[in-house]
Amino acid sequence: MRRFLARRLAHGAAVIFIAASLSFLLVHLAPGDPFSTTLDSASINPSVKVAWRAAYGLDRPLLEQYLRFLGQLARGNLGPSLMRPGPASAVLADAVPNTLVLMGTALVLSFVIGIGVGSWQAERAGSRGDRVAGNTSLVVASLPEFWLAAVLLLVFAYRFRVFPAAGVVDLVMHDSLSPAGRVLDRLRHLALPALTLALLSSASIARYQRAALLDVLPQDFIRTARAKGVTDRLVLWRHALRNALVPTIVLLGLSLPTLLGGAVFVEQVFTWPGLGRIAAAAFHARDYQVVIGATIMGAVLVVAGGILADLLHAAVDPRVRTQ
């Protein structure tokens, strides 16, 4: 297991290095520069922009910039942000907690909803309810994140005014609320973005869960349980579900990169100041170091997700552990 882990970590490090290098290359080759972030910057004299490029070291040959970047990266330093004073890592550090909260909540919600719906469908496989739920989850899984986000925004924030439209907390009231009020305020702001991400992921999870249960239900141990007089419901939830969770749990690790990809759009719609929003803003602003940093974080998440999936698989399936 240790050797397996070491090998996966080495692979992961290679993936992260390649992602960082590709990201460096592509973002520097993209047209535009960090000093043309808005249309208004057209009125800044180009000679000033040339001077700025020199001052920030962007006039150096690309190879020299790349080597300097690698040197900084080896010391755990991404380099300075061009959008804000200070290092790019500080820009990312501001955003990461918000994204983790959003993704964590969405992950939990998506598994609760997905497993629940998938099991409910498996229990009545072939019925009209199963078909309706199956088609619905197929439609939801096919929806683009930004569209679903906009629809939820219009329905729950604009029409019914149940949840706030944007942000992490109430901009004025939050600091004056009681501790419980602050928690509630955060939850209310979290609801729509987390629900958007969760609905999209849960649709796929439900389909996986239903298929896994339908594989398990015809097996001998289920027949034995039924023969012993265990009720159908208990058979499903206690015996079958446990065994059918293996492929779904593996999905947990693999969902992380998907959720992060979705967060880029969802954070934009709900003005959620997380990693996705920062990455999009940094790309528009050609804030090279922040873009590369966000890419590295995405790569880390993909690698970590893969390793987590393997570990979870080993944890729930003793046959894997012994291999």
Partner 1 sequence: MRESIGPRISVLVACALAVAACDGGTKKSEDASAVGGSIVIAAQNEPRTLLPPLITQIDEKIIADQIFEPLAWLGDEGHLDRGYRPGLADSWSWEHDSTAVVFRLNPKARWQDGRPVRASDVRFTFGLYADSVVGFKDRSSLARIDSVTARDSVTAVFWFKNRYAEQFYDAATRLLIVPEHLLAREPRATMLTSAFGRAPVGSGRFRLGKWTPNASIELVADTGNYHGRPNLDRVVFAVTTDANALSTRLTTGEIDLVEVSTPAMFRTLKDQPDLRARMNPAYDYSFLLFNARQPKQRQRPNALFADIRLRRAISMGLDRGKLVRSQFDSLAVVSTGPMTRAQPLADSTIATIAYDSAGAARLLDSLGWTLPAGKTVRERRGQPLKFSVLVPTVSANRMALIVVIQESLRKLGVEVVVDAVDGNTFVGRLGARDFDVVFHGMHVEPSVSGLRANWTVASAQDANGLNFGNYENPRFDAHLDSALAARDLASARPHAKQAFETIVADAPAVWIYETRTATLMHKRIRPVHIVSTAWWAGIADWSIPPGERLPRDRVGLRVAAR
Q: Footprint of partner 1 on this chain (CB under 8 A)? A: 31-33, 35-52, 54-56, 80-86, 91, 94-95, 150, 153-154, 157-158, 161, 164-168, 170-173, 175-176, 268-271, 273, 277-278, 281, 284-286
- Least distance (Å) from partner 1 to the CB of residue 174? 9
**Structure tokens given for 15:** 């993936």
**Distance between CA atoms of 37 and 282, rounded to whole angstroms?**
10
46 vs 71 by CB, closer to partner 1: 46
- Least distance (Å) from partner 1 to the CB of residue 38? 5
**Distance between CA atoms of 323 and 317, rounded to whole angstroms?**
11
260 three-class SS: helix
**Structure tokens given for 83:** 């959008």
- Least distance (Å) from partner 1 to the CB of residue 43? 5
- Least distance (Å) from partner 1 to the CB of residue 76? 21
**Distance between CA atoms of 194 and 75, rounded to whole angstroms?**
35
- Least distance (Å) from partner 1 to the CB of residue 172? 4
123 vs 267 by CB, closer to partner 1: 267
9 vs 51 by CB, closer to partner 1: 51
174 vs 226 by CB, closer to partner 1: 174
189 vs 239 by CB, closer to partner 1: 189
- Least distance (Å) from partner 1 to the CB of residue 170? 8
**Distance between CA atoms of 7 and 160, rounded to whole angstroms?**
52
- Least distance (Å) from partner 1 to the CB of residue 109? 21
Residue 96 exposed, middle or buried by CB count within 10 Å (0-12, 13-18, 19+): middle
Could you give the C-alpha distances from 8 to 72, 182, 212, in angstroms and in order? Answer: 25, 41, 27
134 vs 274 by CB, closer to partner 1: 274
69 vs 270 by CB, closer to partner 1: 270
Helices (H), strands (E): how many in the chain?
13, 0
**Structure tokens given for 265:** 């759009």
Phi first, then psi: give them for residue 80, nearest 5 degrees: -80, 145
Asked if 288 and 183 count as a contact pair (C-beta separation under 8 A), the reply is no
**Distance between CA atoms of 294 and 91, rounded to whole angstroms?**
10
